[in-house]
Amino acid sequence: RLHLVTWNVGTASPPPDVTSLLQLNSLGPTMDMYVIGLQEVNSRITNFLSDLAFDDPWSIFFMTVLSPLGYIKLSSVRMQGLLLLIFVKHIHLPFIRGIHTHYTRTGLYGYWGNKGGVSVRMSLYGHTICFMNCHLPAHMENTEQRLDDFEKILEMQFEGENIPSPLDHDVLFWFGDLNFRIADYGIHFVRESINNKRYSLLWEKDQLNMAKKTEAFLKEFREGPLQFKPTYKFDLYSDVYDTSEKKRKPAWTDRILWRLKNLCQNASKEGDFSEEEQTIAVTLNNYVSHMSYGISDHKPVTGTFSLELKPLLSVPLVMLNPEGEWSAEHDVITRYSAVPEFPSSAWDWIGLFKVTFRHVNDYVTYAWVEDDEISSDKDSKQVYMSAAEIPNTGGEFLLCYYSNNLQSIVGISEPFQIQPSRTPLEKDLAQEENSWMQKPDNLESRDES
């Protein structure tokens, strides 16, 4: 289950509560993945420079909300005001590989990042998925520019070998403030149609719907029915459309679309489909706006999807677990085993994380798999951690194996308890100081924020 959010936040700070936006109080099954695309995140130069060094307030906000619920920030990419965040449940981490990010500037002839797209791609249980958050040019008359810019964004290439282009992924999600407007009709007709909930009268004049009928590269994109009020433009903290002098005409600027790679491309010359190709299906369960959020002149839009996957990967590359009872009173041991084809590296490490960890660099301590190895046989290896590095206060933790070659977590243990120590609290403070002083260089470069 995937929950996708798009929201032009208009340089505002995060709201006090996003329970309804993320459907956290839903009675149904919990989400497996959250994909959050924001536009117009505060990108004044001082903010942007500080955000390059640290997580921006929106990333911190969503991590604070989601990490206690068992989600880790898998990846993020930012280009000025465009931000894309992906959170996933711990259980799926060993089956997500090949994570890459990219951004494409289209503002000011490609030299300025106030418009464009940010993308994250990955392999999920062996299936390729790409997420693309876009902010396209504004104003009624710029339809062609919007289409040209999106076509340019689609043509971008991720860095790395054998990574498919966006359109060659099994599933491509396209969303953001796409800025398409309602053509021809005047503002009074549009507003009257909205007041009477006669949205279907406006669909045929929606510029994106019209373009999908004529532009070949858009025809395979699907979208749910627009059965909610146009999400632009509102007075702040209200559900009243623009009362300023400009009186902007309402429009469905904020959209979520998806595209399944055409199975015809994989058909054999005889016209038969290979059953192996028909291994993924996407179902839209809910496509709604959220009128209660008023921090910007746009309302957020969410799409809740079911992805039915025939797993092409079903075994983690690495299995690991703690040996014996863990306590800060004594050195501890992790045992792990890897599949024969696993491309291990001297730079691989095993991290100890609290169960509510936020991202891959949020470890409590770590051990190098080669430097800290104490035994090895054909089936498994043992790695030790010093008692001095184990949290004094104990609690619930888990272990993750990080692959340097694959730049991702490839194994995760079940949660387990560490018994609290009877030694003084000063040990924890010294340990925290040492972990920052000794943090290896190659871990510094892995923080995608």
Reduced 3-state DSSP string for 36-93: EEEECCCCCHHHHHHHHHCCCHHHHHHHHHHHHHCEEEEEEEEECCEEEEEEEEHHHH
Q: How far apart are CA 24 and CA 9, in angstroms?
A: 20
Q: In what order do the strands lie in the sheet with 112-124?
A: 96-106, 112-124, 127-135, 171-177, 254-260
Which amino acid is located at 74 in the chain? Answer: L
Q: Which secondary structure element, helix H or strand E, spans residue 288, and what is its range?
A: strand 280-289
The residue with tokens 């403070």 is: 429
CB 412 within 8 A of CB 321: no
Instruction: At 235, give phi and psi (nearest 5°).
Output: -65, 145
Q: What's residue 271's pLDDT?
A: 46
Peptide bond connecting 197 to the previous residue in cis, omega within 30 degrees of 0: no
Q: How far apart are CA 367 and CA 365, in angstroms?
A: 7
Which amino acid is located at 195 in the chain? Answer: N
CB 408 within 8 A of CB 402: yes
Integer angstrom CA distances of residue 334 from 77, 248, 305, 319, 401: 33, 61, 37, 10, 10
Model's pTM, two decimal places?
A: 0.90
- CA 98 and chain centroid, separation: 14
Q: How far apart are CA 183 and CA 138, in angstroms?
A: 13
Tens-binned pLDDT, residue by residue, of the chain (449 aa): 999 999 999 999 999 999 999 999 888 889 999 999 999 998 665 555 544 555 789 999 999 999 999 999 999 999 989 999 999 999 999 999 999 999 998 866 544 557 999 999 999 999 999 999 999 999 999 999 999 999 999 999 999 888 999 999 999 999 999 999 999 999 999 999 999 999 999 999 999 999 999 999 999 999 999 999 999 999 999 999 999 998 999 999 999 999 999 654 544 434 444 444 568 999 999 999 999 999 999 999 999 999 999 988 889 999 999 999 999 899 999 999 999 999 999 999 999 999 999 999 999 999 999 999 999 998 899 999 999 999 999 999 999 999 999 999 999 999 999 999 875 555 555 555 555 445 554 454 444 43
At a CB cut-off of 8 Å and minimum separation 6, what does 334 contact? Answer: 320, 321, 322, 323, 350, 367, 382, 383, 384, 385, 399
Q: Which domains does the chain have, with CATH numbers?
A: 2-264+277-309 (3.60.10.10), 318-428 (2.60.40.2840)
Q: How far apart are CA 96 and CA 442, in angstroms?
A: 21
